[in-house]
Structure 1
Amino acid sequence: MSKPKIAVIIGSTRDTRFGAKPAQWIFDLAKQRDDLDVELVDLKDFDLPLFNEAASNAWMPSQDPKAVAWQQKVSSFDGYIIVTPEYNRSIPGALKNAFDQAYVDWNKKPVGFVAYGTVGGARAVEHARTIAVELQMVPVRSGVHIGGGEFVATAFQGKEISEIEAAILPSAKDMLDQLTWWAYATKTAREESVAEAAE
């Protein structure tokens, strides 16, 4: 079996976003593993419109070429690491829209979260996990939460993520281990389902 392909998705599109820093950090950490292929994916590159299809692509094909391009990108991965801030106790609208623009493409794949904010983005992640369940994904237990002094230091005082690694590296390693296990398990199951359907 080929190695699972994992997307690290930057979930904020604001010009002044902080998310690119932790996204690069978790991407570099994941790339050190020899059991995953990892790609950094930026929502800004897809210029997604607000969801305006007749229905989810669970029911009918999407018509907007940008939505279709996003679905094809999402579909090419076996799992995801979503990097998100917390906006008003939830995820950014751009990230919710990215979830909504696809459905079948997310199905039966694991997802882990790297979040940041005053409480480490914990409330955003809890919301995102319920969305992931509805999309038939497998949210892993462990996540990375950059909050409090670590968030202030890296988002506003110029410190690098590497300078707060002592606080977040153990949870990052746990999250990657869990994501990898589920990526192999779900990839195997999906491939077996395809083989059975072809018989």
Structure 2
Amino acid sequence: MTKIAVIIGSTRPGRRGANVAQWVQDASNSHEAIKAGDATVEIVDIAEFGLPLLDEAMPALFGQYRNEHTHQWSRTIASYDAFVFVTPEYNRSVPASLKNAIDFLYHEWSNKAAGFVSYGTQGGVRAVEHLRTALAEVKVADVATAVGLQIFTDFTFSDPTNPLDPGTVTPGPHHEPALHKMLDELIAWSGALKPLRAEGAAH
């Protein structure tokens, strides 16, 4: 079975990421592999781990963690086979909270697959491009298909003048098929990389 984590990348108050991640999980439930029990999708919220700015003395490559928050984050990420990163775009890149969370670990990410669901005024696509580059360095295989939600067309707001209104995710009809295609790719790549994960765990 392929375990997929939907990682909420933003930690700011009023964030829209939690609603987007919930849409990802709900829309994934109709995917054939998930309905058959061959894959699972669970939400992982960076905000719940209380990660400070990177405070480990040793580079993550060595896996010599001294802080309990790092150990908790390590155990969580290590337990998954693939990831869907939910990210907004901040100043043409990813939130600092997401980049920081990636930098805490190394082997826990390695030889796993990742897909992306981004959101923003331009769909968050520039954040995804930065994220692909960062993940390549920790040996994550990113899949081609991604979902980019537009703030003005894929969300509905009860008070459009309130910047803290996270809105309701109301994606266009083309987004769910794209999400399912991304899941197909994630599951296939995760399976292909399984021998490498097993080899890494044996050392």
Q: Do the structures match in fold with TM over 0.5?
A: yes
User: Partner residue of 2:28?
Assistant: 30
Identity of aligned residues (%): 40
C-alpha displacement of 1:155: 9.1
Query: TM-score, length-normalised on structure 1?
Result: 0.88
> SS of the counterpart of 1:45?
helix
Cα contact 1:108–1:190 (8 A) shared by 2 = yes
CA-atom RMSD, angstroms?
A: 2.1
User: Partner residue of 1:78?
Assistant: 81
**Structure 1 or 2: more strand by fraction:** 2
Cα contact 1:71–1:105 (8 A) shared by 2 = yes
- Match for 1:103 among 84, 103, 106? 106
Alpha-carbon separation, structure 2, partners of 1:23 and 1:46:
17
Q: For 1:168-183, what aligned pairs fall within 5 Å after superposition?
A: 168-183=175-190
Pick closer, same or farther for the CA change 1:148–1:21 going to 2, 3 Å: closer
Letter in 2 for 1:21: N
C-alpha displacement of 1:152: 5.3
**Structure 1 or 2: more helix by fraction:** 1
Q: Deviations over 1:51-110 (max 9, x none)?
A: 122222212501111011101111010010010000000000100010001111000000
Alpha-carbon separation, structure 2, partners of 1:84 and 1:185:
26
Long gaps (5+) in structure 2: 161-165
Cα contact 2:9–2:86 (8 A) shared by 1 = yes
C-alpha displacement of 1:29: 2.2
User: Partner residue of 2:193?
Assistant: 186
Query: How many positions carry a matched residue from both structures?
Result: 193
User: Partner residue of 1:149?
Assistant: 152
Q: Deviations over 1:1-60 (max 9, x none)?
A: xx0111011111111000111100111222332321221111111000111222222125
Cα contact 1:117–1:151 (8 A) shared by 2 = no
> SS of the counterpart of 2:144?
coil
User: Partner residue of 2:163?
Assistant: none
Alpha-carbon separation, structure 1, partners of 2:60 and 2:153:
40
Please say which of residues 100-109 and 32-41 is displaced more in the overlay: 32-41
1:52 and 2:55 are equivalent in the alignment: yes
User: Partner residue of 1:127?
Assistant: 130
C-alpha displacement of 1:188: 4.0
Cα contact 1:30–1:36 (8 A) shared by 2 = no
- Match for 1:167 among 158, 171, 174? 174
Query: TM-score, length-normalised on structure 2?
Result: 0.87
> SS of the counterpart of 1:150?
coil
